[in-house]
Amino acid sequence: MSNPKTEVEGLMNRILPFVKKQLEDDGQFYPCAGAIRTDGEFVVVATETGEEFPDPRELVEWTKRAFRKGAKEGKYRATALIYDTLVMPPGQDQKVDAIAAALDHKDGYSVVVFFPYVLSESRLEFGEVFAVEGEYDVFGH
């Protein structure tokens, strides 16, 4: 079995190509999520708000609640929530667009990886990727 960091990075890497394509094709993307169940199977985690065009922040919160519920019920061992955000990269003084990947593992690993980007004429260019400690809000510490 792989270590928590390797497992959540693998999970993130399954979702990122879809997100990048959405950004290039549509100039935006809705938050999306996936998890590794306790049996090792990858699953897409979708949440519904009942609205045709839900507020992305609301989707993030609904997904976090679904992750916490699934973790408490013992369904998941790793989760990844990918969403669009503004972030201040290290050493810069202005916020920039970024893909955020909130990654959590039941073995006490939590990190948010940021992929700063610029989108021009359907061309996606990434800046320097960086990560910060996560909130441990899915599985706890």
Which of 13-27, 47-61, 84-98 is least confident? 47-61
Residues of the chain with pLDDT > 70, as a percent, come to: 95
E strands in 21-75: 32-37, 42-45
Residue 1's pLDDT band (cuts 50, 70, 90): low
Tens of pLDDT, residues 23-47: 999 888 989 999 999 999 999 887 6
The pLDDT value recorded for residue 121 is 82
What the block records as the tokens of 46 is 């979708």
Whole-prediction pTM value?
A: 0.92
Which of 50-64, 66-80, 91-105, 111-125 is least confident? 50-64
Domain boundaries, the chain: 4-133
What the block records as the tokens of 48 is 């519904």
Pick from 84, 110, 112, 87: which is nearest to 99 by CA? 84
Tens of pLDDT, residues 102-134: 999 999 999 999 999 999 887 899 999 999 999
State the amino acid at position 17 in one-letter form: P
Which residues partner with 119 through β-bridges?
Answer: 124
